Structure 1
Amino acid sequence: MKNKTVAAWLAFVGGPIGLHRFYLHGFGDWLGWALPIPTAIGVYGISRVQQYGLDDPWSWVLIPLLGFNIAGCALMAIIYGLMTREKWNARFNRSSPQDSRAGSTNWFTIFAVALSLLIGTTVLMASFVYSFQKYFEYQVDEGRKISQ
């Protein structure tokens, strides 16, 4: 029996390393194994910022991968948490009755959805802002070099 609340929390907390995919689909899920790749690349972008400073162009590209991955996993937590009991059980608990308790929503599920909405939106917008700000600053600096 796959519990909706557990899946929502795993998507929110451990989604960027694929924990929710392994919980729902098993260790043979290729997407679960692929999720840590953009997470690791984004963490590498953060280490580049620490090593080379904020003006490193590669970090402008690498860090948003982590942000988009976290936001996508937060979106999956929201989808899991808001899925109806019947749809959840039909999709992930096929051998159980449609009204099985594993697909029910409780306060822990709602709390996971609310936190996922808050954190996922914040991370997504921060990723956009960081990349676009650094890109436009770079363009302005290049424009000044050309005009001089």
Structure 2
Amino acid sequence: MKNKTVAAWLAFLGGPLGLHRFYLYGLGDLPGWLLPIPTALGVYGIQRVQQFGLDDQFSWVLIPLLGFTFAGCALTAILYGLMTPEKWNAKFNPTAAPDAAPGQTNWLTVGALVLALMVGAGVLMASIVFSFQRYFEYQIEEARKISQ
């Protein structure tokens, strides 16, 4: 029996490592194995910024991958938490009754929803802002080079 609350918390806390996918679909789940790749690339981008500074253009591409992965996993946690018990049990517990306990929403599920919404929205906005800021700073710098 797959519990909706556990899946929502795993998607929020361990989503970038694919933990929620392994919980729901098993260790043979390809998307679960692919999720750590953009996470690791984003962490590598942060390390490049620490090593080479903010002028490193390659890190501008890598860092948002981490943020978008976190935001996507937070959205997945929200989707799991808002799924009706009937739909949850039909998809992940097909042998259980439509209103079985693993598909029910409780306060822990609501807590995962609230935190996923707050953190996910913040990370998504920060990733978009970082990307656009770096892009426009690069454009201004190139325009200065051309004008001189």
Which bin holds the TM-score, normalised by the shorter protein? over 0.9
Deviations 1:35-81 (A, max 9, x none): 00000000000000000011110111000001010000000000000
The equivalent residue for 1:93 is: 93
The equivalent residue for 1:6 is: 6
The equivalent residue for 2:54 is: 54
The equivalent residue for 2:41 is: 41
Cα distance in 2 for residues equivalent to 1:120 and 1:130: 15
Local SS of the residue matching 1:87: helix
Cα distance in 2 for residues equivalent to 1:141 and 1:26: 49
Letter in 1 for 2:91: R
Letter in 2 for 1:67: G
Runs of 4+ in 1 over 3 A off after TM superposition: none
Letter in 2 for 1:38: P
Local SS of the residue matching 1:10: helix
The 5-angstrom pairing of residues 63-102 of structure 1 reads 63-102=63-102
Q: Which runs of 5+ in 1 are unaligned?
A: none
Letter in 2 for 1:31: P
Cα distance in 1 for residues equivalent to 2:76 and 2:34: 16
The equivalent residue for 2:110 is: 110
* RMSD, aligned α-carbons: 0.4
Local SS of the residue matching 1:55: coil
The equivalent residue for 1:124 is: 124
Deviations 1:105-135 (A, max 9, x none): 0000001001000000100110011111011
Q: Give the Å deviation of 1:29.
A: 0.3
The equivalent residue for 1:146 is: 146
The equivalent residue for 1:15 is: 15
Cα distance in 1 for residues equivalent to 2:72 and 2:144: 37
